[in-house]
Amino acid sequence: MNGESSTERITRHVLVLEDHEDTRILLGILLRNLGFTVDATARVAEGLAAFQRRRPDLILCDLSMPDGDGFDFIARIRALPDETAGTVPAIALSAFSGPKVVDRALRAGFNRHLAKPVSLDTLISAVTPLLRQGCE
């Protein structure tokens, strides 16, 4: 994992927003097995509440959910009055991976976009540098 030890990851907290239950559960299992703590929600409103209860070190967010979308979610996070809200790394997850969707996700405030389904190696490769960046 690019030299990052498991003790560096163990205290990291990830907020997952994913409306598909199987995907949400799988992401939670994968992340916990990597040593992260995880809050996993199915709705934008739940994700906002979870963010305010416990500031995550990373956000993984589906772009399409029943009560809104990931674009609105990240815009609301980036607009929070606490200036650190704008620095929490965020990865957009979507079955749509065309250049327009990726560009829109990045312009909305996500740091990365990953096309679903996401392999474990791809997830690790995306998460590791963002968590390091968040420490600097």
**pLDDT by 10-residue block (mean), the chain, 136 residues:** 43 93 94 92 96 95 92 93 86 94 96 93 90 63
Domains and CATH numbers, the chain: 6-135 (3.40.50.2300)
Q: Which residue is it, tokens 């740091």?
A: 111
CA-CA distance, 120 to 92, in Å (whole number)? 15
> For position 94, what pLDDT does the model report?
94
> For position 34, what pLDDT does the model report?
86
* DSSP H or E run through 87: none
- The partner residues of 14 in beta bridges, in order of sequence, read 38, 58
Which tokens sit at 128?
A: 């590791």
Threshold 0.85, pTM exceeds: yes
CA-CA distance, 50 to 32, in Å (whole number)? 17
> For position 85, what pLDDT does the model report?
79
